[in-house]
């Protein structure tokens, strides 16, 4: 079974306090669900239409596991804490 990846791009951080509240809840929720953080930083370089924004890459054993964590109560509580504190582009991608 192919691994799955969450790729999240932060387009705008409107409220750093809400982002911090989200991170405090989201990290443990993701790790408890089997997610493994591979990258968490602003982009080092951007090409074509890319932006030098914060990017997060998380690996899961399967797409089902990734969706279960995202839809679960612990991660949903993290999203509620984030509220409108950031504009993000979150994608789930299957591994090859």
Q: For residue 11, what pLDDT is reported?
A: 95
- Domain range for 43 is 4-94
The whole model's pTM is what? 0.92
Q: Is the pLDDT of residue 34 over 90?
A: yes
Our count of domains for the chain comes to 1
Closest CA to 75 of 14, 34, 41, 15: 34
62: helix, coil or strand?
A: coil
The mean pLDDT value for 45-62 works out to: 94
DSSP string, 3-30: -EEEEEEEEEES-HHHHHHHHHHHHHHH
Report the CATH number that the domain containing residue 34 is assigned in CATH: 3.30.70.100
- For all residues of the chain together, what is the average pLDDT? 96
């Amino acid at each position: 079974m192919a691994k799955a990846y969450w790729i999240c791009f932060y387009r705008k951080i409107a409220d750093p306090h809400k982002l911090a509240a989200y991170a405090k809840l989201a990290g443990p929720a993701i790790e408890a669900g089997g997610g493994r953080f591979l990258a968490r930083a602003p982009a080092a370089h951007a090409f074509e239409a890319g932006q030098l924004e914060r990017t997060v890459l998380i690996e899961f054993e399967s797409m089902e596991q990734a969706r279960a964590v995202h839809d679960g109560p612990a991660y949903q509580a993290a999203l509620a804490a984030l509220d409108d504190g950031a504009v993000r582009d979150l994608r789930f991608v299957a591994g090859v």
